Structure 1
């Protein structure tokens, strides 16, 4: 492994149903801050679990040097904060020793770290978590708190490599900025799965997992996108060149065959006119057939060689299917009032909100976690009752929450889309799902078995492709879990959406792409609607 902290050597992984997720992966991870990117469902989380030692590959080896600290996307709701920190066993062993226990295993757990409590308090204070009760369930933490705890645990573990799976999901703007600052200061190996373009920009290396395997790129997000475009253009050029060479060779072979047939016919006419002996005619015919046979064998070899060149060139072009997300057509009048809020008071949110929104207004709802953004959308969607005031909605409204509660994990995406849209044929609905990158096998599985990005695409399809398309669209952190290609497709769709849009997001780059008209800011001074700038 030389200077590598982690090394993949011929790593393959086969799913329980026999499908090969990836195969023959070779890679080295050192102290360069590295991001892993790729399409939803390609196997990024599985790969990082193999890197962390939580999964064994079906074939090959993952070699590790030093400790690895891993934080998955989902925190175990039954685990304590101490367990999330990774020091629960050490603290328990210290307590047993202080109570008079003499078990050698406890002393082995402590090692030289008799000041583990002091170290813990120092790390919690450094991560703005002073006074945190570590006996609380980890599930009681906010997203920002959980990430700070995970980073504190990584420092306490003296890990050689820190692995984070989508660490910025569900973090508000201040928490994202804190995360990026802490990662900039992390002194050892760092591997991050992310589609957060701002976080990707500060990575020293981006590694892409695709149908072609693992491909390493230097630099941040902008450099990665630039290199991807250059690579793809060159691969397409090589593919077109290989196809052109095959067409030229086919034309040359046909011309050669036609000339050979003409020579053969001419020779046969001349032999007949010369009244040659049958034995000479037979010998001549045998030589001619032998020559034709050799040429045919040569032609077959040439065709196969050129076909192989085309196949090789085609494999160099990543098998990407463009993600297409079609915006429903809205027939509402642009200036018609669609949302009217009159001194609306939300549960557990101070202050009141009065607001009038017309058709085709596009509002970004921003503010810190816990300030009432999601609560506002739930009230407007009828999932929560307000505690005061009133509101009205004039038009068809659709709501997509962070937890994707509109999707039943026991039912397939296709089944749920058919229930939402009874007018279109199953074939048409399958086509719509395929355009989202949800293939035949994927749409028939229980949706609970799909990746976060695949479930989000399915939920979007059920909302946008329903029998009655929405005129008012409420989206709560829709960019979470989406891969880069799907994120761009979502941005394009929302640009085309003609109705009223309210979108909650902490992803500044995502919001900036949507051509929003207003910003609805929530903070200590209550709600404020301002032009988007």
Structure 2
């Protein structure tokens, strides 16, 4: 079906993005393509789709694949029919029905007399009942655009489907439709995703890294188990190498000490023997050269061990290296932070957001998930909790507490600032410059990146900088509110965020469709809208 051989891709800015890519995909395989942000997953999909050309190497593919990208803005000027590539067939069908029975129209239609009915039926299957094929893509939400292209799979019937983060814009119901499609389809799939529930219904995981692609024959849970075995082996190798380094240094000291004692004894003997000065100097120089040679041999051996140890340590993931020091909220557990009594809200006069008024209470130390389909008012409820808006019906109580709202774009990061300047903005405890830089380094921002502008950061980098800034503040917030925090993160950075959230002991409120993330951060209460 698909064979990639020694593929590489050099970005227009001359950066080598992909190297030594070898992969064979057989018919009916369902493959997860994972890897850190920026490693080239989307680029590889575009090469397979034919929208980018590799710099070197070859790939063989039997039929043109069907490609569902991560971003849909480039289709905004098209109608749904145009985006699905059926507009010409539909036009030919309508012309024939109006009596224009030209040969050109029959050729375009190619006996697809039910094309319009089939398109509408497939859109209904994806719960897009209220859309029509002449509607512009720019009028659709991100989730609706994703579903339109997913519906196109049934219309186009491709053998190979490429999907780039297909669950990103989907709510719970949309994700379930996607999972059902993946499980039932007989088509070959290559999916880039960080949705671990999705990854667990695929039968092969391919990890893209700087050295190429490594294939793991199992789902994501199997991959995690294998990676843990590798980490354990790596840890053992590091401990063994550290032990070897200590022994080598001890051996070097012992050997040099012994040689120096021999040199001193030899010098004394030479003085007693009354040898001519030129002979005595020759013996002295010979002893010094012997000591230097022994020292050089040991230095080289120690240097080799150090390099091997450094290579092993660099193999550890960022998640394993990162440490967190979250302060705890000073609020006592169980304190009433927010109470809503029969509240409701409307954006259009008398068109209330919720069918029933809402009553709820939030107390200190709770871990809450707010769930609901797109448009159910999750973000509106957050704004009511924060006090940015007031209900038109009912009343609310808010305690005097400090809340931090972190959306999926990490908008608390000021794009006009550089990384160090952004960290300094959160320096309420008046840390010294070197202390701020130590914290930046702990969150993987090295000296070379301190002057990097924040607007150039990836989703994962913005998340890490946000966590670092929270770490720098004098007091941890009483409430942290996360709005779809994992949408723009790869699996590695989701792990970093999960560890940080689990270190936090204050009140946590999360909007997320990522069920695995919600499980791992120990959500206790669910508010279903």
Range of TM-score over shorter length: 0.7 to 0.9
- The equivalent of 2:163 in structure 1 is 164
Q: Which moved more, 1:505-514 or 1:192-201?
A: 505-514
- Does 2:33 correspond to 1:36? yes
CA separation in 2, counterparts of 1:288 and 1:440?
45
CA separation in 1, counterparts of 2:293 and 2:480?
69
CA separation in 2, counterparts of 1:358 and 1:370?
26
1:339 Cα offset (Å): 0.8
- Does 2:179 correspond to 1:180? yes
Q: CA, structure 1 residues 119+440, in 2 after alignment: closer, same or farther (shift >3 Å)? A: farther
Q: TM-score, normalised by structure 2?
A: 0.80
1:61 Cα offset (Å): 3.5
User: In the TM superposition, what are the counterparts of 1:138-153 in structure 2 within 5 Å?
Assistant: 138-153=137-152
Q: Which moved more, 1:281-290 or 1:65-74?
A: 281-290
1:180 Cα offset (Å): 0.9
Deviations 1:140-199 (A, max 9, x none): 434543333222223433434322222222422222221111112232332222222211
1:317 Cα offset (Å): 4.4
CA separation in 2, counterparts of 1:282 and 1:112?
104
CA contact (8 A) 1:400 1:476 kept: yes
- The equivalent of 2:483 in structure 1 is 476
Q: CA, structure 1 residues 60+144, in 2 after alignment: closer, same or farther (shift >3 Å)? A: same
CA contact (8 A) 2:5 2:59 kept: yes
- The equivalent of 2:386 in structure 1 is 381
CA separation in 1, counterparts of 2:361 and 2:247?
66
Q: TM-score, normalised by structure 1?
A: 0.79
CA contact (8 A) 1:69 1:159 kept: yes
Equivalent residues, number? 516
Deviations 1:467-500 (A, max 9, x none): 6643233322223223334333433433443433
CA contact (8 A) 1:323 1:485 kept: no
Deviations 1:226-281 (A, max 9, x none): 11111012122223323433443444455455555555666666667666788987
- The equivalent of 1:245 in structure 2 is 244
- Does 2:370 correspond to 1:365? yes
Q: Which moved more, 1:277-286 or 1:228-237?
A: 277-286
- The equivalent of 1:334 in structure 2 is 333
CA separation in 2, counterparts of 1:320 and 1:462?
18
Q: CA, structure 1 residues 95+447, in 2 after alignment: closer, same or farther (shift >3 Å)? A: farther
- The equivalent of 1:352 in structure 2 is 357
CA separation in 1, counterparts of 2:242 and 2:272?
45
Q: CA, structure 1 residues 494+320, in 2 after alignment: closer, same or farther (shift >3 Å)? A: closer
- The equivalent of 2:217 in structure 1 is 218
- Does 2:513 correspond to 1:506? yes
Q: CA, structure 1 residues 185+442, in 2 after alignment: closer, same or farther (shift >3 Å)? A: farther
Q: CA, structure 1 residues 79+486, in 2 after alignment: closer, same or farther (shift >3 Å)? A: same
Q: CA, structure 1 residues 495+276, in 2 after alignment: closer, same or farther (shift >3 Å)? A: closer
Q: CA, structure 1 residues 166+411, in 2 after alignment: closer, same or farther (shift >3 Å)? A: farther
- The equivalent of 1:229 in structure 2 is 228
List runs of 5+ in structure 1 lacking aligned partners.
Answer: 523-533
- Does 2:62 correspond to 1:63? no
Deviations 1:93-136 (A, max 9, x none): 747986979999x9998778676545534533444445631232
CA contact (8 A) 2:216 2:223 kept: yes
CA separation in 2, counterparts of 1:429 and 1:292?
46
Q: CA, structure 1 residues 332+273, in 2 after alignment: closer, same or farther (shift >3 Å)? A: closer
1:68 Cα offset (Å): 2.6
Deviations 1:507-529 (A, max 9, x none): 2232233333422222xxxxxxx
Deviations 1:53-82 (A, max 9, x none): 44445x434625132322233321724353
SS in 2 for 1:237: helix
CA separation in 2, counterparts of 1:181 and 1:388?
40
CA contact (8 A) 2:159 2:188 kept: yes
List runs of 5+ in structure 2 lacking aligned partners.
Answer: 347-351
1:429 Cα offset (Å): 4.4
